[in-house]
Homo-oligomer: A and B are copies of this chain.
Amino acid sequence: MLSLEVIYQAAERIAAYTHRTPILSSSSLDQLFGKRLFLKAEHLQKTGSFKARGAVNAALQLERPRGLLAVSSGNHAQAVAYAAYILKVPALIVMPEDASRFKKAGTRAYGAEIYDRGVTVENREEVAHTLTLETGYSFIHPFNDPRVMAGQGTIALELAAQVPDLDAVLVAVGGGGMISGVAAAMKALAPQVRVIGVEPEVANDAQRSLAAGRRIALEQAPKTVADGVRTLSLGEYPWEVIRERVDEIVSVPEEAILEAQRLLMSRTKQVVEPTGALPLAPLLTGHPLPERLGIVVCGGNWMP
């Protein structure tokens, strides 16, 4: 299991390369929902998403890597490209052909090479395995890696210090890298804070897994606007934390995700991607929630 100590070590390791992101609040949103919302602004993180934390934490623990290799629908790609830039080694990113052009451009802007010929969500791990053998680069998994999970857990260290009396924290769930790190840290620091995962209804494998007590996979890549959580299942390592430490997983319809994104943009003037707005969506569906809510706005790599 992920200890608080390794998460503190991650925080120290990545401090020079990542931002301690601010907490944003909006009296207009608070009034609308009758809650106090504390938005953890990971869209203002280096590379535009929380993924920089985990990728940098993993990369800085490698011994003399020749290069970094990753598989990603987008934000992890930019994060690994950034980590490679820090280490001054090349980065090769395996990305589905239909991934967002905006995220591909962002990844290339960090100096990474993109490999996308014939790549789909289903075959990308296999393609990456072959390329890892060919290149000798170090593979950094987007979520199924305790170093990555520990890096993402640093979000909760900061949040707990910035807002000491939260009732719950809402976190997007895809492969589980972020929520496992957040849950491990939060339950160690402030066990009374409910850790609530949010996923799209069309990708509710985590909700079903938590209910069943075993990891359940989707049969095919989910079609959701929240492109950051288009994973088939939780990773094995994250699952071990999630089953013990996450209180609840809520699933939300696509319209609520898009409305949450619009609300964040109009009320707070912040550019967030649909996945970044995902944890706000349960407030729109009327899901019962306590008063003081940490909302991890996890990414802002989006353009109209």
Interface residue ranges, A against B (CB under 8 Å): 43-44, 48, 102, 262, 265-266, 269-272, 300, 303-304
Q: Which of chain B's residues have a CB closer than 8 A to the CB of A48? A: 269
Q: Which of chain B's residues have a CB closer than 8 A to the CB of A44? A: 269
- Residue in chain B with minimal CB distance to A267: B48
Interface centre among A262, A266, A269, A303 (most CB of B within 10 A): A269
- Residue in chain B with minimal CB distance to A270: B269
**Given pairs A48-B269, A266-B303, A269-B271, 8 additional interface contacts (CB within 8 A):** A44-B269, A102-B266, A262-B303, A266-B271, A269-B270, A269-B272, A270-B270, A270-B271
Asked if B303 and A269 make an inter-chain contact with CB atoms under 8 angstroms apart, the answer reads: no
Closest-CB distance, A235 to chain B (whole angstroms): 28
Query: What are 17 A-B contacts defined by CB distance under 8 Å?
Result: A43-B269, A44-B269, A48-B269, A102-B266, A262-B303, A265-B271, A265-B303, A266-B271, A266-B303, A269-B270, A269-B271, A269-B272, A269-B300, A270-B270, A270-B271, A271-B271, A304-B304
Q: How far is the CA of A300 from the CA of B270 in the complex (A)?
A: 9
Closest-CB distance, A231 to chain B (whole angstroms): 24
- Residue in chain B with minimal CB distance to A271: B269
Interface centre among A43, A262, A304 (most CB of B within 10 A): A304
Closest-CB distance, A32 to chain B (whole angstroms): 11
Q: How far is the CA of A265 from the CA of B44 in the complex (A)?
A: 11
Q: Which of chain B's residues have a CB closer than 8 A to the CB of A272? A: 269
